Structure 1
Amino acid sequence: MQLIKDKQIVDDNWQDLADDAELAAGDISVSLSRWQTEKAQLLAHEGQLGIRISPADSVADFAADLDKIALVELDFPDFADGRLFSHAWLLRSRYGFQGEIRATGHYMPDQVFYLARVGVNAFKPATAEQLPVQLGYLQDFTVTYQDSVN
C-alpha cells in the first residue's frame, strides 16, 4: 500500500504488528502497550521501530524513548475525537520528535491540512483512491493566521 509522506505519495514499508504477532523482520510498528511490556525485546529487533497510539494514550508514557522510535502512528478510532491532534503537537513542540508522525484510521480527509499544522507529516488513507484527494487537501490554504509546528 502507498501513503502520503512529506506531501508525496510513497510506498509504505512498515508492518503493523498485532499484540500477539511474532516479531517480523524489517520496520515494525507496535501498540504502546506492547512497547511498554516488550521494550527490551523490541530494542534488540533489527529494523526501525514505531509505536501506535490511540486518543486515550499519553505521549508522556513513551517520551523518554523517542530517540529509539522512528514512527508514531496516531490511530483515529472515529471522527469525533481530537485528542490525537494534541498528541501530534506535543510530540513536535514539547518533546522535539523529528521522526514520522502518521495519521491512520478514521480521520476525515478535510482534516489533513490541520493535522499537518500540528506536526503530522504522513497520512495513510483507507483506500489508494483517496491518496490524490488527501494530497490536494494539504494545499487547501496558502495563508494562515496562527503559528504552527510545521
Structure 2
Amino acid sequence: MQRIIKNDQVVDETWHLLPKDTTLDGLTNCDDYLVPLALWREHSHALLARDGGLGVWLDAGEEIEEIADALDNFQVIALNFPSFTDGRHYSTASLLRQRYGYQGEVRAIGDVLRDQLFAMKRCGFDAFAVREDRDPYDALKAFEEFSEVYQAAIDQPLPLFRRRSA
C-alpha cells in the first residue's frame, strides 16, 4: 500500500487513482476514486450517483477552469506532475485556493520529489504522493528546512515585514 504525506503526516493512501483509459466498468459503488478529467467529463452524472468518495485528477495542460463550476463535488483534486521540471500545476493549486476558495484536499501526484514539497505547500497543496521510489518520511523533512518565509503565499498571507510591524 502506498503511503502519502497529508497534513504534515505520513498516512496510508485510501483513494484509488484511476488511469486515463478507465471506464465505469468494474468501479464499485463505495470505494473512493480519483478519476481522470476525461472520465468526469463523460460520466459525471453516474460518478455523482455513487456512494463512495469522489475526486478528480488533472494532467499537466488540463485547466482547472474546466471543472470550476463543479468543485463542490470533489473531496480531492489531484494535480499531476509528469516530470519534476513541469511546474504548471503550482499555479493551478494557487488558483484553487485563492480564486475559487476550494477547501478540500489538493494533492500533488506524479513525479513529486522532496525538493518540491516546501514550495508546493506554499502554493496550496496539502497532500503529496511522492514518487514510489522515494521515502515519504524523508520527504516530510522538507517542511523543516526553512524556519521563516519572506513572501506572502497561501500558507502565510502576510509578508515578513508586515508580520514584524504588527
Question: Corresponding residue for 2:86?
Answer: 81
Post-superposition offset of 1:127: 2.7
Alpha-carbon RMSD across the aligned residues, in angstroms, is 1.3
Count of residue pairs brought into register by the alignment: 150
TM-score by length of 1: 0.94
TM-score, scaled relative to structure 2: 0.85
Q: Which has the larger radius of gyration?
A: 2
Map of 1:101 onto structure 2: 106
Cα distance per residue 1:90-148 (max 9 Å; x no partner)? 01111011111111111232110000000000111223751111100022211111111
Distance 2:104 2:133 in 1: 24
- Unpaired runs of 5+ residues, structure 2, are 156-166
Provide the rounded CA distance (Å) in 2 between the counterparts of 1:96 and 1:120: 13
Aligned to 1:10: 11
Could you say which structure has the greater relative contact order, defined with CA pairs below 8 angstroms and 6 or more residues apart?
1
How far off its partner does 1:80 sit? 1.7
Give yes or no for contact 1:17–1:23 (8 Å, CA) kept in 2.
no
Give the alignment partner of residue 139 of structure 1, picking from 144, 154, 158: 144
Unmatched runs of 5 consecutive residues or more in structure 1: none
DSSP-derived class of the 1:62 partner: helix
The correspondence for 1:92, drawn from 77, 97, 109, is 97
Alpha-carbon distance in structure 2 between the residues aligned to 1:74 and 1:39: 19
- In 2: Cα distance, 1:70 partner to 1:135 partner: 23
